[in-house]
Structure 1
């Protein structure tokens, strides 16, 4: 009876999770559809209203005034659409800004997060242990503007498997409502090791090149770059990793160096400059954002690669087993052949011994000489 109840509970839980995921996807799709159709709907309603008003005043037989009214209607509708688009664009820039913060453990990501949120709430360190183990979302208002910050777990944690980190990164995109306007990738140039390089490259490979439209490289601990007069541009160009420079170029050369040990006033100034850079990127992307569909495609790609690796692993395992069995059979055949040779040699020695017992001393002497001659010449 208890087993049946547990089975029913698991079934209900699975149905609930599937229903919850379906409702979440429908919500995101409807929200995007509303945003895209709002402008066109407003302009269309304006044109239809003007056309109905003009047709009531001007008779249908007067085609010249009717033609002029159509041109006037189109002009006013276009003007209204342009004004509406500009107004909505400004409202978008002033609306809530959704940001995802990503980075390796120990790069000062938590310190940057605290600066953006304007509160000292998270511990910052330079060790390989991450402060954040799973996605977390925080909302704050800066200068009357809402900011949603989603912090992803450190993707190089030794106690978290890569599959779990990838799922958490996709979860960060999901919990940021419609999707993030910007993805801040925190790096420490002085600690950019081989493992982190592979992770960053795999990140772009799995999540698609479209992700590059929304990425800003955020270099932490600007104070460690060298002298204060050394520019950030020079420091980035001086990076020894050519692959990282190539990724920065593909992302539109968007990068910012953050002074983690700066005073509170300087951090506020840095955050304002960073938000200005994000707003500029949002404007260049036509107010779009990194949608959940892209993340779903990335998850499917990761799953596909994982299945391919599993198939390749099974194939190599089968080849190894086949080769191992073949070697075992060859060894058994050689052992059997060696055993037969030893047995034949023993029988031959036994026959020679029996034959020698029946020989006289003279015959034994000449037999020994003959055996020596045959051994010398290999007969």
Structure 2
């Protein structure tokens, strides 16, 4: 298949921290409802794989637990990585990194660094699209691109690392706009394919995974044929019989993917240490403060919301009584400037 040809199906690998909106994104792409949707809740420990049609295209979507976080158990991490690679083998056409717009981007920056070390620089530069979530936190008349440029340099830096590619599936206009957003996303994925020299992502880890998956497929097919007394067992190394349906082939393939064990990925030194410096606030504490802060800010009048949040953040990260004083001052000044700008426009 030439580099410019359209692939028969698009493989999407969805990543993100717990609560980033991976499951809603998968559901929106494939139109899943009810019990099919899954969950992003804490405790989701397995990769999920869905196959379906979206915007006239055959799509496979693999979603994975947040194995790039510093609090992930090393043994669980190896298991998640191996399962994720096997499920998205022979390689995804695009990684979709779900990034909530209402939280700091440090975990997502780590995720991009990990992807680059595991799969090579092209995994991020050519094959990753930032998928922004929780955009309901933006003001009603505020555009996402405006928000990124004006307020969130950290999120803008993520986008730049991914070749300027970003998208959101969240709309305020209901299902028709959602389907349009899905179509636009898949067009961006196809653009990734067009610009890539290798179609889907390819690297040693995925090559090893695909070889092992295919070997296991043949083993499973031989085992199933051996259980049928009237059918001859195919010789070792042969492919399954030609009269096997596509659905049966897909089922054998997915069983083979699930049975792949540790791929032996060298992850030593790739992930951030789980310990936190005694002089630094614990991550969970900072997350709690951030969530309380943004929740409190939503109740403020629109005019002062950002200024107050900005001042509170200054106080949070400076720390101590001095930080509180500085934060209060900054917030007050910013609020007054905002009022005066508003008065001038009236």
Shorter-chain TM-score tier: 0.5 to 0.7
Deviation digits for residues 204-259 of structure 1, max 9, x if unmatched?
A: 3444312111000000122222233x3322222234454x4333212110001231
Query: Could you say if the C-alpha distance between residues 304 and 196 of structure 1 is closer, same or farther in structure 2, counting changes exceeding 3 Å?
Result: closer
Aligned counterpart, 1:103: 16
Aligned counterpart, 2:201: 290
Cα distance in 1 for partners of 2:195, 2:69 equals 34
Q: Which has the higher helix share?
A: 1
The 8 Å contact of residues 67 and 80 in structure 2, kept in 1 or not, is answered as no
The TM-score normalised by the length of structure 2 is 0.53
Cα distance in 2 for partners of 1:287, 1:252 equals 17
Question: 1:163: Cα distance to partner?
Answer: 4.8
Q: Are residues 1:216 and 2:129 paired?
A: yes
Uncovered stretches (5+) of structure 2, i.e. residues with no partner: 209-262, 274-346
Residue of structure 2 aligned with 1:302, choices 267, 272, 288: 267
1:341-360 → structure 2 map (5 Å cutoff): none
Question: 1:101: Cα distance to partner?
Answer: 0.6
Give secondary structure in 1 for the equivalent of 2:95: strand
Q: Are residues 1:259 and 2:173 paired?
A: no
Cα distance in 2 for partners of 1:159, 1:246 equals 24
Q: Which moved more, 1:168-177 or 1:295-304?
A: 295-304
Larger RCO: Structure 1 or Structure 2 (Cα < 8 Å, ≥ 6 residues apart)? 2
Q: Are residues 1:279 and 2:190 paired?
A: yes
Give the CA RMSD over aligned residues: 3.3
Question: 1:287: Cα distance to partner?
Answer: 5.2
Cα distance in 1 for partners of 2:162, 2:91 equals 18
Residue of structure 2 aligned with 1:184, choices 96, 120, 135: 96
Uncovered stretches (5+) of structure 1, i.e. residues with no partner: 1-34, 36-84, 310-379
Residue of structure 2 aligned with 1:116, choices 8, 29, 40: 29
The 8 Å contact of residues 119 and 203 in structure 2, kept in 1 or not, is answered as no
Aligned counterpart, 1:317: none
Aligned counterpart, 2:224: none
Q: Are residues 1:149 and 2:61 paired?
A: yes
Question: 1:200: Cα distance to partner?
Answer: 4.5
Cα distance in 2 for partners of 1:190, 1:174 equals 32
Give secondary structure in 2 for the equivalent of 1:191: coil
Deviation digits for residues 118-151 of structure 1, max 9, x if unmatched?
A: 11122556xxx33742112111023542111111
Larger radius of gyration: 1
Cα distance in 1 for partners of 2:45, 2:172 equals 24
